[in-house]
Amino acid sequence: MWILTFVIKMMKIGILGGTFNPVHFGHLILAEQVRGQLGLDKVIFVPTFMPPHKSNSDVIPARYRFEMLGLAIGNNKAFSVSDIEIRRRGKSYTVDTLRQIKERYPHAKLFFICGSDLVSEIPSWKNVDEIYALAAFVLARRPGYGRRLSGRPFIKINVAQVDISSSLIRKLRREGRSIRYLTPNSVVKYIERHGLYQ
């Protein structure tokens, strides 16, 4: 008698949270290289509604940041954007987001992606032990960072380093200078059309 064994592949999902104020090529390169190196099935971008560790004075409304992300990832089938933190409103905590994603994908393995310069902040995050239980931490190596923290193992990934930041884009916009080639052209046009960051 033959016994058929079905092996169900566990889905691997990356979560890349952030303010994305605005999204730029550095975010996209990070997500794609982590996806490729870890064999992720998908990467979910999660823009914050109100970031708990940042001043909100320079953060534009969430709907603009959400729509720009949609434009930026439009042709990548492995990328998606979630508005769960925007719909939840209030301050955006990683643990709450991971709980919701785990409820939606109960059998998936979650990978929380962040730059390794955030290592020193992680112990101060809300319910950090639960975060470690819900997802593996993936740290994009940056000079001087990426060591183990308090005995916690992190998955360390080498990614191409590009010297682009959201703050640079905002600064150039305030100065009336070009932001072309720092973010996808669809995002450049969106920013110009809505008069953002002026």
pLDDT tens-digit map of 67-97: 999 999 988 999 999 999 999 888 888 999 9
Q: Could you report how far apart the first and last alpha carbons of the chain are, in Å?
A: 73
* Nearest alpha carbon to residue 67 among 194, 164, 198: 194
Please check whether residue 147 lies inside any domain of the structure: yes
Percent of the chain with pLDDT over 90: 62
Q: Is residue 7 part of a domain?
A: no
Question: Within a domain: residue 178?
Answer: no
What residues make up the domain containing 75?
A: 12-161
Residue 146 confidence (pLDDT): 46
Which pLDDT value is given to residue 36?
96
Return the CATH number at 86.
3.40.50.620
Assigned domain for 86 exists:
yes
The tens digit of pLDDT for each residue in 38-49 reads: 999 999 999 998
Model pLDDT, residue 91 = 82
pLDDT confidence of residue 123: 76
CA distances from 84 to 13, 66, 110, 139, 184 (A): 16, 11, 16, 23, 24
> Whole-structure pTM over 0.85, yes or no?
yes
Mean pLDDT of 28-47: 96
Report yes or no on 2 lying in a domain: no
Number of structural domains found in the chain: 1
Q: Would 27 be classed as within a structural domain?
A: yes
